[in-house]
Amino acid sequence: MVPCTAPLWVVAAYRFPGQVWHLELLAPRRALYVLCAQKGVYCLSLDHLSRSTSQDDGDSEDSELPSFVIPVGPDACILPDASLCAFTVLEDTLVTLVQGPTQWKMQLFERPCPGEDPQPGGQIGEVELSTYAPPAGVPGKPADPRFLPVLCCVSPPASRVPHGQLWGPGSFTLKEALFGLLFGADATLLESPVILCGLPDGQLCSVALKVLVTSRSAPGDPKALVKILHHLEEPVIFIGALRTEPQAEEAAEETLPGEDVHSDCLVALGPYGRTLAIKASWDEAGNLVPELREYCLPGPVLCAACGGGGRVYHSTPSDLCMVDLARGGAPLDPTQPDEGPGGLPPLLCPASLSICSVVTLAVLSRAPEGGTELLALSAKGRLMICSLDLNSEAPGLSPVSRANTGQKIKELLSGIGNVSERVSFLKKAVDQRNKALTSLNEAMNVSCALLSSREGPKPISCTTTVGWSRLQLQDVLMATCLLENRSAFCLGQGWTLCIQVLTSSSALDLDSAGSATTYTIPVGQLSPGSQREVTLPLGPGENGTFDLPVTVSCTLFYSLREVVGRALAPSDSFEDPCVDEDPPDVLPEQEGICLPLSRHTVDLLQSLRFPGLAPPCTQAPPLRGPADPVDAFLEACREPGSQPGSQPAGPASLRAAYLPPSVACIKVSAELLRAALDDSHSGVPLCCATLQWLLAENAAVDVVRARALSSVQGVAPDGADVHLIVREVAVTDLCPAGAIQVVEIQVESSSLADVCRAHHAIIGRMQTMVRQQAAQGSSPPDLRVQYLRQIHANHETLLREVQMLRDRLCVEDEASSCTTAQRLLQVYKQLRSPSLILL
């Protein structure tokens, strides 16, 4: 196998107005037929190079082109049709395949020549082939088909037209038996050439040409004219024929010049390697029967060619393979030595020729020593002649003459170039696969570590903290997620941290659902022991409001598609339409691994700010939510000369002075709290410990602890003040054993919404605490059931009154509704300070 680079001189280069899909050279007429995507068939006469050039000079655009580049103009177009997908030329006819709205149409034209206008009745036949699902494209513009249909012409051996002279290169002659078997007695009797057609939907069908002459008004009846030979279940990308039987009586025939081989085997290939071979054979009874075999070759197939000696060459991105369809050695049944053609091999073993990514392949004439020469074009644009000497494998034994040396060195150099191209490709593919495997292995380890550690700290954790910072003249509540890798494994490529921020529905608008935002952050490389911090804004939202509480969930995601998908499609370096898509069916439906890490709820207590507590040097600038018209009014009302010290400054306090604050109150038994907080807050007054516990996740907890505060004045995210007061009281009438020490947590704010949020946050903490305590098995003291009932009954009354007042509010006029509303507020106030205690 010696590839060599032949010396070539460029005589002319043509530039077509569209992508070239197919071309055929009709050598005896020195005519080149070219199918341009979305344009039609062009015909160039190779004798008139100068004439074509002179037509286009003066065009300013062309001056940039090299002098030998000839733009092909519309006058060379012999068949303008945007829906043409394939053609083949034979004798004086042009056979085309057109993509109709619902069907493929085969049309037959009298072969038009360049320069002359074809007769109006140039079309002499038409038949519709089969239904197909039209590819989805932009309406009005046909989509670029991924696979084009294949046409080729098959002639019977007895055809009187000397084949090979006026026929295109895509045609071949089949032996009588196979021809008759495939196309029937009619085509055989008529000695009609047959057009074989391989469609992208996998159909392989045939149309006898002599039958396909119909008038324009009545296309032929497909049932009568079209014979479906097979369904490949893959798009057909290649149809060829070859000779598998070396026959003695026809040995003489092959030596005749211009006489071509009569093939006895038909081959069709799909892009994923499915291969069909059909031969004629005789069954036991002497009947002629088709022998049909399907093979699977390594794909994806870029191109293929049939050679002498029953060999099929096909190219994949990684190799050029050769399979032998000829019956190797002895006939299958030795008792019937001459009983017709032998069978096809049950299996094909592709032999590698070690040339990668050949995109076009042609078998040159058989070399005299029995070898074969292939003309191949690689994806990188190298045109190669590959001589296959399949018999003699003894290099270096023959004496090399001086004259040969130069040639030999050239060949060797070319061989080295070819090998290095292949090596670089293979290396890249192997590297990619190794990387993917390593990455997969690590992903497995990480997943196991995370999923197996049920208790104790997880080896990979994500903690979320909340803080305020100033961004673009606005205070923003930021969540900081800290991803820590304490495992022994590395989080590498393919891992992403997904953080979902889920807001609760707004308290004021009960209908609106909460919104969710997901941030996806590639982890990159996180080695053991290292950590990564991600900060994201929680609010204010676009309308300046905070929808607390907000839930922040962190998840690790490993993308299989990103890591494995690329390695499974090793051909991504090629611009080939057949491989640039994801490999089919190799990846499962789920595209990755999802590992939940943590879930954190940000509530009002965490986002409170305490400007009064901060030391003066680090005091934040005055906090102000969006301008409130009430605040503005109050500001305007203030007397200009008032002392700043006499009253708390700021509109918030003013507001507090004019609008009575809303209050909510929660009572917890001191014993319960003490039990819960004992271990961490021993030696601190219970009220202070409670406050510290409540604000544990707030940045201000240190100051609160340092000053041992039991009440604190804070500012909610929306600017309203929030007052938290914790005090110890005794409740006497609840328990028969005597007074119960109770911690009362009171929330005061001018904003009702903030009272609700704070209340909600405190209750949430209480619930968690109570659940923990219950788990430890503490028992509540004796209670006076009668008293509890009384409280419950009071509540029921209040609730009924609320219902009644609300109903009344709907029907009353303005004056009386005012009083009703006031009463309603009072009742709500009563409800908010219950006499019930958490015990």
Partner 1 sequence: MSHQTPPDSSCLDLWREKNDQLVRQVKVAQDSGLSLRRQQLAQDALEGLRELLCSLQGLPAAVAVLPLELTVTCNFIILKTSVAQGFTEDQTQDIQRGLERVLETQEQLGPRLERGLMELWDSVLHASSLLLDLLPALHRLAGLQAALWLSTDHLRDLALLLQTLNGSQSGSSEDLLLHLKTWSPPAEESDAPLTLQDARGLRDVLLTAFTYRQGLQELIIGNLPKALSSLHEAASGLCPRPVLVQVYTALGTCLRKMGNPQRALVYLVEALKGGSALGPPLLEASRLYQQLGDTAAELESLELLVEALSVTHSSEAPQLLIEVELLLPRLDPALPLHCGTQSQAKHLLASRCLQTGRAEDAAEHYLDLLALLLDGSEPRFAPPPSPPGPCMPEVFLEAAAALIQAGRAQDALTVCEELLSRTSFLLPKMSQLWKGARKGTKGLPHCPLWVSATHLLQGQAWVQLGAQKEAVSEFSWCLELLFRSTPEDKEQGAASNCEQGCKSEVALQQLQAAALISRGLEWVACGQDTKALQDFLLSVQMCPGNRDASIHLLQTLRRLDRRDEATALWWRLEAQTKLPQKDTTWSLPLYLETCLSWIRPSDHETLLEEFRTSVLEPRGL
Among 50, 63, 255, 287, indicate the residue that binds partner 1 (CB under 8 A). 287
Residue 186 vs 431, nearer CB to partner 1:
186
Please enumerate in sequence order all residues whose Cβ is within 8 A of that of 627, keeping only pairs 6 or more positions apart, or say none: none
234: nearest Cα among 294, 279, 293: 294
Q: Does 738 bind partner 1 (CB under 8 A)?
A: no
SS3 211: helix
Scan residues 88-107 and list those touching partner 1 (CB under 8 A): 92-93, 101-102
Among 6, 13, 161, 818, indicate the residue that binds partner 1 (CB under 8 A). 161
Q: Does 188 bind partner 1 (CB under 8 A)?
A: yes
Q: Does 113 bind partner 1 (CB under 8 A)?
A: no
Among 214, 438, 461, 741, indicate the residue that binds partner 1 (CB under 8 A). 214
Taking a C-beta distance cutoff of 8 angstroms, is the pair 748, 646 a contact? Answer: no
Backbone phi, then psi, for 263, in 5-degree steps?
Answer: -80, 150
Rounded CA gap, 194 and 184, in Å? 11
Q: Does 210 bind partner 1 (CB under 8 A)?
A: yes
Q: Which stretch binds partner 1 (CB under 8 A): 287-295, 451-459, 574-582, 624-632?
A: 287-295
Q: Does 322 bind partner 1 (CB under 8 A)?
A: no
- DSSP string across 86-109: EEEEETTEEEEEEE-SSEEEEEEE
Q: Does 224 bind partner 1 (CB under 8 A)?
A: yes
Angle (CA) 537 542 548, round 5°: 60
Shortest spacing between CB 659 and partner 1, in angstroms: 44
3-state SS record for 431-451: HHHHHHHHHHHHHHHHHHHHH
Q: Does 399 bind partner 1 (CB under 8 A)?
A: no
Q: Does 139 bind partner 1 (CB under 8 A)?
A: yes
What letter does residue 365 receive in the DSSP assignment? P
Backbone phi, then psi, for 778, in 5-degree steps?
Answer: -80, 150
Scan residues 542-571 and list those touching partner 1 (CB under 8 A): none
Among 3, 71, 125, 345, indicate the residue that binds partner 1 (CB under 8 A). 125
- Beta-sheet strands, E only, within 435-591: 460-471, 474-485, 495-503, 516-522, 531-539, 550-559
Shortest spacing between CB 214 and partner 1, in angstroms: 7
Taking a C-beta distance cutoff of 8 angstroms, is the pair 8, 61 a contact? Answer: no
Among 17, 18, 122, 371, indicate the residue that binds partner 1 (CB under 8 A). 122
Shortest spacing between CB 43 and partner 1, in angstroms: 12
Residue 108 vs 700, nearer CB to partner 1:
108
Residue 81 vs 421, nearer CB to partner 1:
81
Q: Does 288 bind partner 1 (CB under 8 A)?
A: yes
Q: Which stretch binds partner 1 (CB under 8 A): 81-89, 570-578, 669-677, 828-836?
A: 81-89
Shortest spacing between CB 85 and partner 1, in angstroms: 15
Residue 185 vs 510, nearer CB to partner 1:
185
Residue 284 vs 814, nearer CB to partner 1:
284
CA distances from 433 to 428, 443, 484, 570 (A): 9, 15, 29, 9
Shortest spacing between CB 70 and partner 1, in angstroms: 20
Among 37, 106, 212, 355, indicate the residue that binds partner 1 (CB under 8 A). 212
Residue 16 vs 313, nearer CB to partner 1:
16
Q: Does 337 bind partner 1 (CB under 8 A)?
A: no
Residue 188 vs 555, nearer CB to partner 1:
188
Backbone phi, then psi, for 691, in 5-degree steps?
Answer: -65, -40
SS3 78: strand
What letter does residue 564 receive in the DSSP assignment? I
Residue 23 vs 178, nearer CB to partner 1:
178
Angle (CA) 205 128 228, round 5°: 20
- DSSP string across 130-194: EE--PPP-STTS----SS--EEEEEE-TT-SS-TTTSB-TTEEEE-HHHHHHHHHHHHHHHT--E
Shortest spacing between CB 132 and partner 1, in angstroms: 13
Q: Which stretch binds partner 1 (CB under 8 A): 179-187, 234-242, 321-329, 554-562?
A: 179-187
Q: For residue 728, how many other CB atoms are within 10 A of its CB?
A: 15
Longest dimension (CA), the chain: 127
| Pairing of β 171-174 and β 262-263 | parallel
Q: Does 119 bind partner 1 (CB under 8 A)?
A: yes
Shortest spacing between CB 28 and partner 1, in angstroms: 18
Q: Does 140 bind partner 1 (CB under 8 A)?
A: yes
Among 284, 542, 639, 679, indicate the residue that binds partner 1 (CB under 8 A). 284
SS3 278: strand
Rounded CA gap, 509 and 50, in Å? 81
Footprint of partner 1 (CB under 8 A): 74, 77-78, 80-83, 92-93, 101-102, 108, 112, 117-122, 124-125, 134, 139-140, 158-161, 176-177, 180-182, 184-186, 188-192, 209-221, 223-225, 280, 282-290, 339-340
